Chains A and B, each alone.
Chain A
């Protein structure tokens, strides 16, 4: 059940209505049932995986709490707790590995065997990746580590903990919540609040706009170009790659924003996942704005335990390489994702290595690093670097990524920027115009966010008629201009009589 499905449009109001009509004691059970129903709408069997992950991490939490309370010897306590965390993590990661990485591992083993001329190949399995497994596994693991660190109390109530892991708004695409934030809220009672409703609706509308009007429309362009690389070369691919940066942003941020809005309506505050990422002035800055819940997860639970930047520059760079390779793998089981992660790590390492030189150069040439022009240049350079790495993210294989880069470099068909090819050939002109207008709206909204202006707050301060127009107009426009529902083909509808 996707957020942009008719099923969700029917499901969500029923859940919200039921939630606020329930006695406080039953609210979390209601939400838990709703969350499992939501998850099982994809594949009922995989709910068992989520239940397994929930049970293992809940037991880990309980055991950790018990060790803490009973063991007086600090060393023994710490050692036992580490074993407990390691066991919980191993079980969860084993499940994640099997479903997400097993075939990838076999393919690589086969590749090695093949290049070593060993006449033995292992068969891959037909494994369907359970939706959201990376998200709920990381969220549950984060909880175990939080309990280990004493940053959160182990939850006694299994049902409440199960709701923390399975909370449907953020279950399948994040944000990956922290126990300190979401588990606390799960324990609280939530009453209907008009302000929450209004805020939530605004957030959901913005999310739907990003997902349905922009991401899915841009996808039409990008998929067509990447799917027909012989026809669409050079600037087509460069433009599609430029657009892909926004497609993935709008897709991901759209889903996260809908999740935030849905949670908000029910009184839950989820963490912000994207903060005008393409206004990042460095690649590191980009990562502080992009998929914040995951970046901060890696920072808190991997980068810092690896030593972070406390063990010297070389170790810091190594840690960055490790974290971003793992981040790449988290996004998908493929070398393209690893390269994408590594590229982002390399950008940051080169940025760190050249920082002094750049600062010196700025001094020598009397550059004002806080000037508009300098910051704009930084934003553009960062975007270009990040966008280049998206080529690997978008491509189906490393070979395809290389072909994309070669095509961009070797087919300088710049004229398509000036005739109508770009705006008419890939998607219809009207769709192209809607896409560009949508992107301008996104750019304006993100610029305001970058400057610290909250558009939602601005709208809330307006008179009723204005808020009325914003909500009613947004719903109607999203429904008309959004890409949703059964595929419509005007050509297929040309009236013929036979």
Chain B
């Protein structure tokens, strides 16, 4: 009996220590991103699915702030429509949203598996609880020789002992409800892009693809469970081939009698300011798309505004934390264009001073970004110092003293920007930039 007990103690200890090691060495990104969805009882009115377009393009916290809709973004980079289907199936087994929004941009994709996106699949699948659906998902999505790494990620991550550093000991939190806000901006050469291309709707590619197969399965799943689903196409620069596939989504949506919101045909984003790279929206573009989508959802799906609901007080707290994160993002942005792009945020109000005679007066992109941030037009007279305001202050709020702001100033700089929190008026950033373009 004693020997049996000793063996049992050893066996249990091995399991516990291996679990501990697995927990310590795992990649945290997916767990942090999806924590609120998988590890809390929080209910969501809407869930979003899709690829990188959606994870960067839909900001649930902005939608909360503007419309009081609770939502979560389960999209991820490289996540194909077959991955979306399984993640949706699992999500609907856990939570019952009032609406599913699925971005169909990878409808063109005709393979079940793409090796280069394996890391993102880990981010999406690793945090999912081990259920029958997760097992089916792994068996369906992952080649046989790699399945073990998805069933037991420690088999892959155990060798991360080599990269252990102080980050491993810091617990990470995301307040973005699954989204990934991109704070970069296209380089000037690319930002001359003007209009998004579109194609006559009749020019659709009707070839069946793996993407279409799983898109249909996702729609059918939602309809079976009586959960409304909306298809979207978040704005991007598409090739003619891609646009033919985009048009084919109209036909699929019509076939199932569901809406398809084609962002390429709506005048929502400004191609010269709102893209990271021509394909993915940056923070400014994501805010515009989220705002537009939020309005559509509010108007068409009777989603309640829960901002004043005491049961959702935690969301307001999360939003405050989200704003702190936004402040941090702004302060860590050192380049002029991305910084100005980030000012296109109703959470920020800002004062921008441009020195007399600065070279920046001749920089079109600079003025475009200022216009994007707050409708500021380029002044006629560049020989005097100009002061502009982007005024998003909420009622009763106004600029406070700067003593708490993170200040990074340079006496000889041409551009001086002071940013305030639109709700509280607190100064959150004060920085200067030289006048030479592109610096």
Q: In the complex, A496 Cα to B279 Cα: how many Å?
A: 15
B358 at the A interface (CB under 8 A): no
Q: Which of B7, B29, B180, B182 has most A Cβ within 10 Å? A: B7
Q: In the complex, A73 Cα to B17 Cα: how many Å?
A: 69
Please give, as numbers and ranges, the residues of chain B lying within 8 Å of A497 by CB-CB distance: 52, 56, 77, 180, 182, 280
Given A479-B21, A493-B27, A497-B52, does the pair A472, B155 have CB atoms closer than 8 Å?
A: no
Q: Which residues of chain B (8-66) have a CB below 8 Å from chain A?
A: 9-10, 13-14, 17-18, 21, 25, 27, 29, 52, 56
Residue in chain B with minimal CB distance to A471: B10
Tell me if B161 and A480 are in contact (CB < 8 A): yes
A484 at the B interface (CB under 8 A): yes
Q: In the complex, A484 Cα to B155 Cα: how many Å?
A: 7
Q: In the complex, A476 Cα to B163 Cα: how many Å?
A: 18
Tell me if A485 and B21 are in contact (CB < 8 A): no
Please give, as numbers and ranges, the residues of chain B lying within 8 Å of A484 by CB-CB distance: 155, 158
B146 at the A interface (CB under 8 A): yes
> Closest CB of chain B to A384's CB: distance in Å?
33
Please give, as numbers and ranges, the residues of chain B lying within 8 Å of A472 by CB-CB distance: 10, 13-14, 17
Q: Which residues of chain A (162-210) have a CB below 8 Å from chain B?
A: 194, 197
> Closest CB of chain A to B31's CB: distance in Å?
13
Tell me if A490 and B21 are in contact (CB < 8 A): no
A488 at the B interface (CB under 8 A): yes
- By secondary structure, the B interface counts as helix
Q: In the complex, A472 Cα to B277 Cα: how many Å?
A: 51
A109 at the B interface (CB under 8 A): no
CB-contact partner of B21 in A428, A476, A486, A495, under 8 A: A476
A431 at the B interface (CB under 8 A): yes
> Closest CB of chain B to A493's CB: distance in Å?
5
Tell me if A481 and B145 are in contact (CB < 8 A): no
Given A475-B18, A498-B77, does the pair A481, B161 have CB atoms closer than 8 Å?
A: yes
Please give, as numbers and ranges, the residues of chain B lying within 8 Å of A428 by CB-CB distance: 162
Tell me if A495 and B158 are in contact (CB < 8 A): no
Tell me if A430 and B162 are in contact (CB < 8 A): yes
Q: In the complex, A497 Cα to B181 Cα: how many Å?
A: 10
Residue in chain B with minimal CB distance to A487: B156
Tell me if A490 and B77 are in contact (CB < 8 A): no
B94 at the A interface (CB under 8 A): no
> Closest CB of chain A to B434's CB: distance in Å?
29
Q: In the complex, A490 Cα to B18 Cα: how many Å?
A: 21
Q: Which residues of chain A (296-352) have a CB below 8 Å from chain B?
A: none
Residue in chain B with minimal CB distance to A481: B161
Given A472-B14, A476-B17, A497-B52, does the pair A490, B160 have CB atoms closer than 8 Å?
A: yes
A492 at the B interface (CB under 8 A): yes
B192 at the A interface (CB under 8 A): no
Tell me if A488 and B3 are in contact (CB < 8 A): no
Please give, as numbers and ranges, the residues of chain A lying within 8 Å of B321 by CB-CB distance: none
Q: In the complex, A266 Cα to B11 Cα: how many Å?
A: 19
Contact sample, A vs B, 30 pairs, CB 8 Å cutoff = A6-B152, A6-B155, A197-B7, A428-B162, A430-B161, A431-B162, A468-B6, A468-B13, A472-B10, A472-B13, A472-B17, A475-B18, A479-B158, A480-B25, A480-B158, A482-B158, A483-B159, A485-B156, A486-B155, A486-B156, A488-B159, A488-B160, A490-B162, A493-B27, A495-B29, A496-B77, A497-B77, A497-B182, A497-B280, A498-B279
